[in-house]
Chains A and B, each alone.
Chain A
Amino acid sequence: MTRVMTVTPRNRRFPTILRFRAWRWGAAVLAASLALAACDTGEGVDVDGDEEGTAGDAPEGGTLIAAIGGEPDQFDPHVTTAHVSFQVLENVYDTLVAPDAEGEYQPSLARDWSTSDDELTWTFELRDDVTFHDGSDLTADDVVYSYNRIIEDELANAYKFSEVDDIEAVAEHTVEITLNQPTPALLDNLGSHKGLAIIPEGADEDLDLVTEAVGTGPFELGSPEASGVTITAYENHWNGSPTLDAVEFRYISEATTALTSLRAGDIHWTDNIAPQAVEDLQGDEEVELGMSPSVDYWYLALNQEREPWDEVEARQAIAYGIDREQIVEAAQFGAATINQTAIPEHNLWHHEYAPYEHNPDEAASLLESAGVDEGQQLDVMVVQETEGVQIAQALESQLADIGIEVTIEQEPESTWLDRQSEGDFDAFMWSWVGNLDPFGFYHAQHVCDGGLNFQGYCNPDVDELLNEAAGETDQDARKELYDQAAEMIVDDVSYLYLYNPDVVQAWVPGLDGYEVRPDRATEFENVTLPE
């Protein structure tokens, strides 16, 4: 068809059959695309540059365009476990309490709470001025319904209610929670993230929660599409109407595309920043960079049911054999904070303890006393396409210096998880994300029969400390217990803690009211766009 147009555009003697065919080819392709595109169900993503929300010229209110790294799997807060889903849901739902940037729990839907003398009954007083997006009032029945849904349907966060015996609405705005043992971490269990969201009574039957939402948050969920979703301001939000008119989330999985979109003014905000781009961005005037150590951490776990890693000296040798600075440089391009315990600085539960430094000689002598021979094999299992691969590569060369031969086993996440739960590994590299309370950081990973203790660690002293801490309601005493436990966990190398990766986010200069949080919660409630 091209031939017809480019070579003999005005040749009337050109064979009509070929010309006709060529035209039909084009027409067929065009018609097919028109026909199929016409059954387009959605509006798609707004055109860049044509919308009010475009960076640079937005007045008060306006639409913030945020690029997140992927498509949320679904929007049912009690079912999803995907971070990208919670980036949206963070702005749509509320919880009874919510953590501040230091990890301390503050009132949210509950304005106040009290504990009985035996620590087994918690009474939450709800705010009485909260309405759902459909206009109905929030009552204690909604709280009871929401929690019972999670528990009875065995949904993703059901484990957070294992100490809960009963949830009861004792007055219109009063909820009573009865526990089977004192649980100081209850606030964390009820408010750590929007997976514990309060939904209206009967919402599971009345709505398709996978794609619809009736929350109490500052924004209402629009209809999700394959390329993005828009949330719009809820004027009657109990904490005041948000400053923005709307937030449009776009799913951009390629970091270069997200960054170029930000520079070109197609989007206002993104957290899809490749670690290697951070250094360049720090001096960049076109982009504002926000960084904070996250509550996430990367660690290496050695299988303590396999020789020689059942010997504490052998594990400590690895701890002395690694160079954390090099690891952080290799895996995160420096965008991380080295930490020999789990909880990051700035968090109120942080405990400064760093007994290990890079010391190959010490490592070698520890290996000798553990009876480990030169050339000892160590297979390190990592999830493919994660930072774990780079960490393992750095580890491979560092441990070669002390005579340990590392083989890196890259597995898809699903296979990796299977092998982890079956104990089929020498060592694995992994990260925990989103913990705020020390119970979440330390308990199930390090008590002898802990559900997440895949490495087979067992120290009765640590068990005692962790179990006591789990029930200790005095915050200072509780911290003291966790500090002691953390030191023993580090000394025994139950986990070999490496670092807390930084939360890295970027936005257009002039965007105001946004706070980078260690728990990666993305709240757009108080954001204003640049003039």
Chain B
Amino acid sequence: MTGYVLRRLWQSAVVLIGVSILVFAIMHLVPGDPVRQALGTRATEAAYQAMRERAGLDEPLLTQYLDWIGSAFTGDLGVSFRTGRPVMEMILERVPATVSLAAAAIVVALLIAIPLGTIAALKPRSPVDWFATASSQAGLSIPDFWMGIMLILLFAGTLGWFPSGGYVGLTSDPVGWAHHLVMPAVTAGVASGSILTRFVRSSVLEALGQDHVRTARAKGMRRRDVLGWHVLRNALIPLVTVGGVQLAYLLSGVVIVEIVFAWPGLGQMALQAVESRDYPLLQGSVLLFAVIFLLVNLLVDLLYARLDPRISYVGAAK
């Protein structure tokens, strides 16, 4: 098991280096000069050159890359062009808000997907199934900016139940934190929940058709026990896979939801970095997103073994 984990971590490191080269190359291939953008049109040529030099942009690309990746290994992701602050500090500052939103959104998604998908699978082609499928289609089709704005207009504007936007730190005010979290989490969670509903439905349906389920029923096991013991547990594996991807996606920032709810997450910051061609900040953010995806995937694979005793990674370590 430990061997397996180590091997996966090693593979992840290789992937990360690949990602870092790709990100670096793409950023520098995209037209647009970050220095001109940061200084505006009025800056003198000398000011322009001075900033290019400060930012190390006058060095050859390979030197720039090696400098960056070398420091990245020591946890130093460089300094943002636009803000002049360390990239690591800027990312860490936004981690709490991002994790809060991602965790709450995935909870919302599961709260929607598991009941809805299971009920739909238990009564396939019934009105319940039709309703579940239709509402998951609707949940996927509704643009999140529209849904967010509608929630704001209704629950913040008309009813005044929730604040219209903003973020409050959990440690400074837990109630305010939860209060501010509800609407963004629902907005982000509905789309993920809709995707997950379909997977729950199909995997529960598949599990229901398996021989051991028929056997369990035949031997007179109670319906709900069959569902709990034999169906849901088997159905969980695909759910964990897709849920993991959704969680990673949420963790790397839900840009639209963050903008609508003035949520200081990583997505907004990365978008801003793209717009201003803030190479260090964007490279750092994308590297972080890659780490998130790799780690979540690793955790998902490890969870398989926990969920399904037939899966074992012991052999793989040899």
- Are both chains from one complex? yes
A interface residues, Cβ below 8 angstroms from B: 1-4, 6-8, 11, 13-15, 17-18, 21, 26, 29-30, 32-34, 36-50, 67, 70-71, 73-74, 76, 79, 81, 153-156, 158-159, 162, 210-211, 225-228, 250-254, 256-257, 260-261, 263-264, 266, 412-415, 417-418, 420-421, 444, 451-452
Chain A residue, CB-CB nearest to B85: A210
- Closest residue of chain B to A46 (Cβ to Cβ) is B168
B275→A413 contact, CB < 8 A: yes
Contact call A50/B50, Cβ cutoff below 8 A: no
CB-based closest 6 A-B pairs: A414-B32, A47-B176, A226-B264, A37-B170, A44-B169, A33-B103
- Are A264 and B164 in touch, CB under 8 angstroms? yes
A387 to B151, CA, bound (A): 27
Does B66 sit within 8 A of A, measured CB to CB?
A: no
Q: Is the CB of A48 within 8 A of B166?
A: yes
* B40–A156 touching, CB < 8 Å: yes
Interface check B298, CB cutoff 8 A: no
Q: How far is the CA of A147 from the CA of B163 in the complex (A)?
A: 44
State whether B42 touches A418 (Cβ < 8 A). Answer: no
- Whether A40 lies near B169 (C-beta < 8 A) is yes
A153: chain B residues at CB < 8 Å are 50
Check A45 against B43 for contact (C-beta < 8 Å).
no
Cross-chain contact B165 with A36 (CB below 8 angstroms):
no
| Bound Cα distance from A210 to B110, whole angstroms | 42
Pick from A2, A42, A250, A264: contact of B262, CB under 8 Å? A250
B84 touches A74 (CB 8 A): yes
Q: How far is the CB of A437 from chain B (nearest CB, A)?
A: 14
State whether B262 touches A227 (Cβ < 8 A). Answer: yes
Output the nearest chain B residue to A416 by Cβ-Cβ distance.
B32
* Pair A33/B93 contact, Cβ less than 8 Å: no
Could you jot down 6 A-B contacts, CB within 8 Å? Answer: A17-B233, A46-B176, A210-B85, A257-B164, A266-B164, A414-B32
Nearest Cβ on chain A to B163's Cβ, whole angstroms? 4
Q: Which of the four size classes fits the interface of chain B?
A: 35 or more
| B111 surroundings in chain A (CB, below 8 A) | 2
Q: Tell me whether B83 is interfacial, beta carbon within 8 Å.
A: yes
Instruction: Collect the chain A residues with CB atoms within 8 Å of residue B233's CB.
Output: 15, 17-18
Other-chain contact of B171, A38, A76, A420 (Cβ < 8 Å) = A38
Main secondary structure of the interface of B (DSSP, over half): helix
Which chain B residues border A74 with CB–CB below 8 Å? Answer: 82-85
- Docked complex Cα distance between A507 and B208 (Å): 60
- Find B47's partner among A50, A71, A156, A228 (CB 8 Å cutoff): A156
Partner pick for A154 among B50, B84, B152, B272, CB 8 A cutoff: B50
Within the complex, the shortest CB–CB distance from B79 to chain A, in Å, comes to 10
| Partner of B153 from A41, A46, A260, A418 at Cβ < 8 Å | A260
Residues of B within 8 A of A (CB): 31-34, 36-44, 46-47, 49-51, 82-85, 92-97, 99-100, 103-104, 106-107, 110-111, 114-115, 118, 149, 152-153, 156-157, 160, 163-173, 175-177, 179-180, 222, 224-225, 227-229, 232-233, 259-264, 268-269, 272, 275-277, 306-307
Report the minimal beta-carbon distance from A159 to chain B, rounded to whole angstroms.
5
Cα(A503)–Cα(B114), bound, Å? 50
Q: Which of B31, B38, B46 touches A418 (beta carbons < 8 Å)?
A: B31
A residues in contact with B36, CB < 8 Å: 414, 417-418, 421
**From residue A415, how far is it (CB to closest CB) to chain B in Å?**
5
How far apart sit A48 and B46, CA to CA, in the bound complex (Å)?
Answer: 47
Bound-state Cα–Cα, A418 to B172, Å:
45
The reply to whether A15 and B276 form a contact with Cβ atoms under 8 Å apart is no
Kindly identify which residue among A154, A162, A225 contacts B93, using a CB–CB cutoff of 8 Å: A225
Residue from the list B93, B96, B115, B167 in contact with A36, Cβ < 8 A: B96
Contact of A2 among B34, B115, B307 (CB under 8 A): B115
List, in ascending order, chain A residues with CB within 8 A of B261's CB.
Answer: 254, 257
CB–CB B169/A42 < 8 A: yes
Shortest Cβ gap from A237 to chain B (Å): 27
B58, chain A: closest CB distance, angstroms: 14
User: CB distance B31 to A47 under 8 Å?
Assistant: no
A159 touches B43 (CB 8 A): yes
Which residue of the partner chain, among B41, B82, B156, B176, contacts A260 with CB atoms under 8 Å? B156
Residues of chain A within 8 A (CB-CB) of B50 are: 153-154
Assembled-state Cα–Cα distance A8/B309 (Å): 25
For the A-B complex with A44-B176, A226-B94, A254-B149 known, give 13 more contacts whose Cβ atoms are closer than 8 Å: A2-B111, A4-B228, A7-B224, A46-B168, A49-B163, A79-B84, A154-B46, A158-B44, A253-B262, A261-B156, A261-B164, A266-B156, A417-B41
Chain A residues within 8 Å of B173, by CB: 44, 47, 50
**CA gap between A253 and B269 in the complex, in Å:** 12
A252 to B180, CA, bound (A): 14
Contact A81 B40 (CB under 8 A): yes
By a CB distance below 8 angstroms, the chain A residues around B100 are 33, 36-37
Chain A residues near B37: list those with CB within 8 A: 413-414, 417
Q: Which residues of A contact B114 (CB under 8 A)?
A: 1-3
Instruction: Using A37-B99, A256-B149 as known contacts, say yes or no to A263 and B157 having CB atoms under 8 A apart.
Output: yes
Taking a contact as CB atoms under 8 Å apart, the answer to whether B47 and A155 are in contact is yes
Q: Specify which chain B residues have a CB less than 8 angstroms from the CB of A38 in the assembled complex.
A: 170-171
Interchain CB contact under 8 A, A3 and B164: no
A contact residues around B168 at 8 Å (CB):
44-47
Would you call A154 and B153 a contact (CB within 8 A)? no
* Measured CA separation A71–B85 after assembly (Å): 14
Most central of A44, A211, A261 by chain B CB within 10 Å: A44
- List the A side residues contacting B179 at CB < 8 Å: 47
From B104, B152, B268, B272, give the contact of A257 (CB < 8 A): B152
Report the minimal beta-carbon distance from A99 to chain B, rounded to whole angstroms: 18
Complex Cα gap A3–B236 (Å): 12
- Tell me how far the C-beta of B207 lies from the nearest C-beta in chain A, rounded to whole angstroms: 13
A415 to B165, CA, bound (A): 33
Q: Most chain-B Cβ atoms within 10 A of its Cβ — which of A26, A412, A420?
A: A412
Known: A156-B40, A414-B34. A37 touches B171 (CB 8 A): yes
User: What are the residues of chain B within 8 A of A260 when measuring CB–CB?
Assistant: 152-153, 156-157, 164
A447 vs B305: C-alpha distance when bound (angstroms): 74
B42 touches A37 (CB 8 A): no
Q: Are A43 and B172 in contact (CB under 8 A)?
A: yes
CB distance from A107 to the nearest CB of B (A): 26
Contact A33 B47 (CB under 8 A): no
A29 to B34 alpha-carbon distance, docked (Å): 39
Residues of chain A with a CB closer than 8 A to B49's CB: 154
Q: Chain B's nearest CB lies how many Å from the CB of A295?
A: 15
Are B95 and A15 closer than 8 Å at their CB atoms?
A: no
Min CB distance, B221 to chain A, in Å? 10
Chain B minimum-CB-distance residue to A227 = B264
Report Cα–Cα, A30/B178, bound state, in Å.
12
A81 close to B38 (CB less than 8 A): yes
Give the CA-CA distance A14 to B225 in the complex, in Å. Answer: 6
**How far is the CB of A460 from the nearest CB of chain B, in Å?**
25
Give the distance in Å from the alpha carbon of A153 to the alpha carbon of B49 in the complex: 11
- Tell whether A412 pairs with B96 under 8 Å between CB atoms, given A18-B232, A50-B176, A417-B41: no
Q: Is the CB of B96 within 8 A of A39?
A: yes
Cβ–Cβ < 8 Å partners of A37 in chain B: 96, 99-100, 169-171, 177
